């Protein structure tokens, strides 16, 4: 039984991984490391990185791998991530998997599990459209949503194959109530011997 948890949560935009990530991280007493949150914080503060990221996102593109990996490595080096973390939004492609695996290997670590929230494309689109209306998010236009789901399917899906080969992927049905989905995830991780925070 391990006392730490190094987790990655993966799913298409609108799969609820942000919400579930927070719940799971709290259950294990580990920080959520969300590239989206880090980027948004920089955008809000108007930092040079924030301005750079805004320009990229406004084009409907994703932030380059090297830049993203550098930010994540810095975050995982902080004290609160020493006993584990939950990654959300990174790695999103096979190049970033290589960056992450190399970084963890340097520290004698590896991911314990990859949580894959399985949500049909139609469900993702419906959720994102609702979120755009409720939150007035300018980056959630129909075209941007479709573009990001296409990128997810082409770039992120292959990382599941890599992690499946290592036997660390838990495929979770991402449709249901928040509590039902959280319980499914925690049950799958318990099978792997991961202990919840006291």
- Quick one: pLDDT at residue 3? 56
Residue 137 annotated as catalytic = yes
Q: What is the pLDDT of residue 2?
A: 44
Q: What is the pLDDT of residue 1?
A: 40
Contact 96, 64 (CB under 8 A): no
Whether 131 sits among the annotated catalytic residues: the reply is yes
Closest CA to 7 of 37, 34, 40, 41: 34
If phi over 0 gives left and psi between -120 and 50 gives alpha, with beta otherwise, what is residue 141? beta
Whether 195 sits among the annotated catalytic residues: the reply is no
**75 tagged catalytic:** no
Check if the beta carbon of residue 36 is closer than 8 Å to that of residue 89: yes
* Total-model pTM: 0.85
- Tokens 């925070």 belong to 197
Q: 40, 73, 131, 171: which one is catalytic?
A: 131
Residue 187's CB is within 10 A of a number of other CB atoms, namely 11
Please list the rounded mean pLDDT of every run of 10 residues in the chain (198 residues). Answer: 80 90 96 90 87 88 88 90 94 93 95 96 89 80 87 88 96 96 97 90
Q: Is 44 a catalytic residue?
A: no
- Domains of the chain, start order: 5-191 (3.40.50.300)
Q: Which of 6, 17, 75, 184 is catalytic?
A: 17
């Amino acid at each position: 039984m391990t006392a730490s948890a190094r987790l990655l949560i993966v799913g298409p935009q609108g799969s609820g991984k942000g919400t579930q990530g927070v719940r799971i991280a709290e259950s294990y007493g580990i920080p959520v490391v969300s590239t989206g949150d880090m980027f948004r914080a920089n955008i809000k503060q108007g930092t040079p990185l924030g301005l750079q990221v805004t320009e990229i996102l406004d084009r409907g593109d994703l932030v380059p791998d090297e830049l993203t990996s550098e930010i994540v490595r810095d975050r995982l080096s902080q004290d609160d991530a020493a006993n584990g973390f939950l990654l959300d939004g990174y790695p999103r492609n096979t190049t970033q998997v290589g960056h992450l695996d190399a970084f963890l290997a340097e520290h004698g670590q590896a991911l314990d599990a990859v949580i894959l929230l399985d949500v049909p494309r139609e469900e993702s689109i419906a959720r994102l459209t609702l979120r755009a209306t409720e939150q007035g998010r300018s980056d959630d236009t129909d075209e941007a949503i479709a573009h990001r789901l296409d990128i997810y399917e082409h770039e992120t899906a292959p990382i599941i194959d890599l992690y499946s080969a290592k036997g660390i992927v838990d495929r979770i049905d991402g449709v249901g109530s928040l509590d039902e989905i959280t319980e499914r995830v925690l049950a799958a991780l318990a099978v792997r011997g991961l202990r919840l925070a006291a």
